[in-house]
Structure 1
Amino acid sequence: MTEVSATPPMGTVRSWLDLRADLDGDSVSHLFPSAAPLTWSALRDQAAEIAARLSGMGLSKGDSVALMLPNGPQGVLSLFGVLYGGFRAAVINLVAGTEAIGYALSHSDALVVLVGEAQLDLLLAAKGAHDVAARKVVVGHDIRWPEGTPTAPLDELHSDDQALLMYTSGTTGRPKGVLHSHASLLAGGWTTALAHELTDRDRALCVLPIYHINGLCVTIMAPLVAGGSVVVCDRFSASRFWTTCADHEITWFSVVPTIISHLLHGDADPDAATKARIRFGRSASSALAVETQSAFETRFGIPIVETMGLTETAAQILSNPMPPGSRKIGSPGKAYGNEVAILSPDLVPLPPETEGEIAVRGPNVMLGYYKNAEVTKEALTEDGWLRTGDLGRMDADGYVFVTGRLKELIIKGGENIAPREVDEALYSHPDVVEAAAFARPCKIYGERVEAAVKLRDGATVSRGDLILLCEQKVGKFKCPDMVHVMGELPKGPSGKIQRLRLAELTTQPERHEPKHKKNQNTVEATRD
Structure 2
Amino acid sequence: MILDRNTPPKGTVKDWLDARADTGGVAIVFPETGDALNWRTLRDEARAAAEGLAGQGVAPGESVAIVHPNGRAGVVALYAALYGGFRATMINLAAGPDAIAYALDHSGARYAFVHDSQRDVIARVAPTRLTILEPDMLAQRASLATFDAAQHALLMYTSGTTGQPKGVVHAHASLLAGGWTTAIAHDLSAKDRGFCVLPIYHINGLCVTLMGSLVSGGSLAMTAKFSASQFWEQADRAKVTWFSVVPTIISHLLHSDTNPNTDVSARLRFGRSASSALAVETQSAFEERFKVPIIETMGLTETAAQILSNPLPPGTRKIGSPGIAFGNKVRILTADLEDAPPLQEGEIAIRGPNVMVEYLHNPEATAKTFAGEWLRTGDLGHIDEDGYVFVTGRLKELIIKGGENIAPREIDEVLYSEPDIIEAAAFARPCKSYGERVEAAVSVKPGSQLSEAALIALCHQRLGAFKSPESIHFLKELPKGPSGKIQRLKLASLI
For the aligned pair, the TM-score class normalised by the smaller chain equals 0.7 to 0.9
The answer as to whether partners of 2:355 and 2:375 remain within 8 angstroms in 1 is yes
Q: Distance in 2 between matches of 1:321 and 1:65?
A: 37
* Change in CA separation of 1:56 and 1:455 when aligned onto 2, cut-off 3 Å: closer
| Fraction of identical pairs, as percent | 55
Deviation (angstroms), 1:133:
1.4
In the alignment, the residues of structure 1 paired with residue 494 and residue 357 of structure 2 have an alpha-carbon distance, to the nearest angstrom, of 48
Q: For residue 15 of structure 1, what is the aligned residue in structure 2?
A: 15
Partner of 1:29: 27
Q: 2:275 aligns with which of 260, 282, 285?
A: 285
Q: Once the two structures are superposed, what CA deviation does each residue of 1:241-267 show, in whole Å capped at 9, x if it has no partner?
A: 000111111100000000000000000
Alpha-carbon spacing, 1:527–1:377, altered in 2? closer, same or farther (3 Å): closer
Displacement of 1:381 in angstroms is: 1.9
Aligned residue in 1 for 2:261 = 271
The whole-number CA distance in structure 1 between the counterparts of 2:190 and 2:474 is 56
SS at the partner of 2:149?
Answer: coil
- Aligned pairs for 1:12-91 (under 5 A) are 12-22=12-22, 24-25=23-24, 27-33=25-31, 34-91=33-90
Closer, same or farther: CA 346–374 of 1 in aligned 2, 3 Å: same
Indicate the residue corresponding to 1:135 in structure 2: 131
| Residues 150-204 of structure 1: per-residue CA shift (max 9 Å, x gap) | 1110011201111000000346411000000000000000000000000100000
Contact 2:179–2:212 (Cα < 8 Å) also in 1? yes
Give the superposition deviation at 1:510. Answer: 6.4
Q: Is the 8 A contact 1:354 1:393 kept in 2?
A: yes
Q: 1:35 to 1:79 in 2, by over 3 A?
A: farther
In structure 2, how many angstroms separate the alpha carbons of the residues matched to 1:122 and 1:389?
33
Alignment of 1:491-502 (within 5 A): none
The answer (yes or no) to whether the contact 2:329–2:350 under 8 Å persists in 1 is yes
In structure 2, the residue matched to 1:400 is: 389
| Aligned twin of 1:386 | 375
CA RMSD in angstroms, aligned pairs only? 2.9
Q: 1:448 to 1:374 in 2, by over 3 A?
A: closer
Instruction: Please tell me the residue identity of whatever aligns with 1:8.
Output: P
Counterpart in 2 of 1:451?
A: 429
1:326-363, CA deviations, whole angstroms, 9 ceiling, x for partnerless residues?
00000000100000111111111223211000000000
> How much does 1:398 deviate?
0.8
1:287-338 residue CA offsets vs partner (Å, 9 max, x unmatched): 0000000000001000000000000000000000010000000000010000
Q: Which runs of 5+ in 1 are unaligned?
A: 139-143, 410-418, 424-435, 442-446, 457-489, 491-496, 512-524
Q: Which residue of 2 aligns with 1:117?
A: 116
Please report how far the alpha carbon of residue 5 of structure 1 lies from its aligned counterpart in structure 2 after TM superposition: 2.6
Quote the Cα distance in structure 1 between the aligned partners of 2:54 and 2:364.
33
Indicate how the Cα distance of structure 1 residues 14 and 450 shifts in structure 2: closer, same or farther if over 3 A, else same.
Answer: closer
Residue 47 to residue 450, structure 1, CA distance change in 2 (3 Å): closer
CA distance in 1, matches of 2:267, 2:325: 27
> How big is each residue's C-alpha offset from its partner over 1:97-116, in whole Å with a ceiling of 9 and x where there is no partner?
11110110111010211111
- Residue among 330, 333, 338 paired with 2:328: 338
Query: Cα–Cα, structure 1 residues 154 and 307, in superposed 2: closer, same or farther, change >3 Å?
Result: same
Residue 370 of structure 1, aligned match among 360, 384, 406? 360
**Alignment match, 2:247:** 257
Name the counterpart of 1:432: none
Could you list the per-position Cα deviations for residues 418-467 of structure 1 after superposition, in whole angstroms to 9, with x for gaps in the alignment?
x99xx9xxxxxxxxxxxx9x9xx9xxxxx9998353579xxxxxxxxxxx
- The correspondence of residues 466-485 of structure 1 with structure 2, limited to 5 A, is none
Alpha-carbon distance between aligned partners in 1 of 2:52 and 2:142, rounded to the nearest angstrom: 7
Amino acid at match of 1:323: P
Determine helix, strand or coil for the equivalent of 1:377: helix
Deviation at 1:145, TM superposition (A): 3.0
CA distance in structure 2 between the partners assigned to 1:31 and 1:321 by the alignment: 28
1:234 equivalenced with 2:233 (yes/no): no
Distance 1:401 1:97, change over 3 A: same
Aligned-partner Cα distance in 1 for 2:239–2:426: 48
In structure 1, what is the equivalent of residue 472 of structure 2?
507
Q: Give the 3-state SS of the residue equivalent to 1:159 in structure 2.
A: coil
1:59 shift after superposition: 1.2
Contact 2:69/2:199 (8 A) holds in 1: yes
| Pairing partner for 2:233 from 234, 243, 252 | 243
Question: Which residue matches 2:487?
Answer: none
Contact 2:251/2:433 (8 A) holds in 1: no
In 1, are the aligned partners of 2:161 and 2:396 still within 8 Å (CA)?
no
Distance in 1 separating the partners of 2:224 and 2:427:
37
SS in 1 for 2:260: coil
CA distance in 2, matches of 1:199, 1:452: 38
Deviations 1:45-89 (A, max 9, x none): 111101100001111211110000110000111100110000011
Is the partner of 2:265 in helix, strand or coil?
Answer: helix
Q: How far apart, in 2, do the equivalents of 1:171 and 1:92 lie? A: 20
What number of residue pairs does the alignment pair up? 431
Residue type at the aligned position of 1:29? A
Distance 2:426 2:14 in 1: 52
Contact 1:4 1:193 in 2 (8 A): no
Aligned counterparts of 2:260 and 2:101: Cα–Cα separation in 1: 42
Which 5+ residue runs of structure 2 have no aligned equivalent? Answer: 413-424, 435-458, 460-464, 477-491
How does the TM-score come out when normalised to structure 2? 0.82
Q: Does 1:356 align with 2:321?
A: no
Counterpart code for 2:60 = K
